[in-house]
Structure 1
Amino acid sequence: MRAASHKATSYFAARQDEPPSRTISSPRRLSREESQRQTRARLIEVGRQHFLAYGLGGAVAEKIAEEAGYSRGALYSNFAGKEDLFVAVMQEEHQRYCELYKAIYRDNGDSEKMLQELRTTYIDMLVNPEWVILWAEFQSEAVRNKEMQSRYRQFYHAMVQDSVNRLTEHIENGSLLCKMSPSNFVLAMSSFAHGLALRQRVVGSQPSERTTRKLIGEVFDTLIRTHAGEWKVDSHRPLNP
């Protein structure tokens, strides 16, 4: 009996020396808003892949929903249709680059360094094969479809205005100089660069991607600088189209 009592005492003493067991808590349940954001993000991610692979016309809403792990109803409860999903994909693409531009403007006190980072980021975006495909798809669909034309115009004007506002701010505070008004600079650069980047993706070697980057950079450098006194800038009077 004494031996048994000693064993029991030793056992309980050892148990007291052990660290307390951890309580396994169940994962926090997502709120309705969080769940919806998660669903939208997943549908946009998969939709982007399908639009790149099949185009807007070839993509199938049901297949996008299935691959994302949701029902067809989940897609249509978050988006009016695949066209609406496509616009959401483009808005997310644009927002991603906007955040990069904001960080460059915010974190650089050196105008020359800021301009070089803007230049590099801008060219990176324009020659990105996936951006070229999505942008061309958006434009071609806008030509054929009146509803998409309206959505494209809204998207395009918002994108241009955002760039114009940021450029105007830095021209007016003297950190940048431009040979054109901000609105005409954005219009000229985006039209030239988008067209050249698309041509490079379609034609291939003529011009090469390296040459495309160089040409866009040269036009950029010709129109905008940081050195005060070289150009007189009227940032409020756009040229006649």
Structure 2
Amino acid sequence: MSPERKRLTREESRQQTRERLLTAAAELFVERGVNGTSVEQIAERAGYTRGAFYGNFEDKNALVAELLQHRTRRELEEVRALTEGAASFADALDRLRAWNRDRARHLPEWLALRMELVLHALRNEELRPLLAERERLARDAHAGGLEQAFAARGVASPADPAFLALIVHALEDGLLIQRLLAPEGIQGDVVVDAFDLLLRSWTALARQPAQEDAGEARSAVTEDPEGTA
């Protein structure tokens, strides 16, 4: 006899319903766009009634807001788990490469959903602050990673880490779009390659003032070896 199936608590059942509605909405947003998807279609795809939808979300905008937050938390947690468990920065980059290659296999759906959510939030003033907060969290994560990388190299950031993080974050979106349009010529881990190149360039830039100061000191000694100037 099979073991008796554990009954879900009311809260567990409610959470399961919300998750199914979010999953159904994500699938439909990719297929039809946010504006082209109705509440009824989301409920039907999830296997529920229209009433079940409104029992969990005030309206479609509320679901979009939840989906934005859900995706942000999940992606940040995944990347944080990868980097925190790395033995070295090189190991962290290798793990990030693997994560990006795996994401590349689902890039059309992943990017389409991201763009749909972003466009919908931009068109709805009430959602813009939430989108701004989501983007800030992503930039903060980049800034933290950059600061750790510079510290490991024994240099100070050559510019405000928040500004450098803005560059990295904007570049990531652009590279992913290019990867989607030309997958045969752009590797799935192109974002990590770009980040690595930027980091090495910025590290060299951070070291340049110290090298210039050392060069000026050597020049001064050469011009006045007796120190009589």
After TM superposition, the score normalised by the length of structure 2 is: 0.73
Describe the SS at the equivalent of 1:232.
helix
Query: Distance between the aligned counterparts of 1:181 and 1:89, measured in 2?
Result: 31
**Quick check: 2:93–2:192 contact (8 Å CA) kept in 1?**
no
Find 2:6's aligned residue among 28, 31, 34: 28
Deviation (angstroms), 1:175: 8.2
Task: Give the unaligned 5+ runs of structure 1.
Answer: 1-21, 234-241
Q: Which SS does the other structure have where 2:6 is aligned?
A: coil
The C-alpha deviation readout for 1:71-125, integer Å capped at 9, x for no partner, is 2122122222222222322333333322321222222122212123235535764
Q: Larger Rg: 1 or 2?
A: 1
In the other structure, the counterpart of 2:45 is 67
**Aligned residue in 1 for 2:19:** 41
Aligned to 2:115: 136
Partner of 1:195 in structure 2? 174
Q: Relative to structure 1, is the Cα distance of residues 213 and 122 closer, same or farther in structure 2, using a 3 angstrom cutoff?
A: closer
* CA distance in 2: counterparts of 1:78 and 1:65, whole angstroms: 11
Query: Tell me, what secondary structure is at the counterpart of 1:78?
Result: coil
1:179 deviates by 5.4
Q: Which runs of 5+ in 2 are unaligned?
A: 208-229
Deviation track 1:184-216 (CA, whole Å, cap 9, x = no partner) reads 232112212312433554xx3xx4453265764
The answer on whether the counterparts of 1:142 and 1:149 sit within 8 Å (CA) in structure 2 is yes
Structure 2 CA distance for partners of 1:78 and 1:176, relative to 1, 3 Å: farther
Q: Hey, what's the Cα distance between the residues in 2 that align with 1:147 and 1:113?
A: 41
Contact 1:171 1:177 in 2 (8 A): yes
How do 1:89-238 residues align onto structure 2 when only pairs under 5 Å count?
89-122=67-100, 125=103, 128-172=107-151, 174=153, 180-199=159-178, 201=180, 204=181, 207-208=182-183, 210-211=185-186, 213=188, 216-225=191-200, 230-232=204-206
Question: Hey, what's the Cα distance between the residues in 2 that align with 1:159 and 1:232?
Answer: 24
- Length-normalised TM-score, structure 1: 0.70
Once residues 112 and 200 of structure 2 are traced to their aligned partners in structure 1, the CA distance between those partners, rounded to angstroms, is: 30
- Size of the alignment, in residue pairs? 206
The amino acid of 1:232's aligned partner reads: A
Structure 1 stretch 32-41 or stretch 162-171: which is displaced more?
162-171
Q: Using the alignment, how far apart are the partners of 1:176 and 1:114 within structure 2? A: 19
User: Structure 1 residues 74, 171: CA separation in 2 closer, same or farther (over 3 Å shift)?
Assistant: farther
Distance between the aligned counterparts of 1:214 and 1:66, measured in 2? 37
Identity of aligned residues (%): 27
1:13 alignment counterpart: none
Superposed CA RMSD in Å reads 3.3
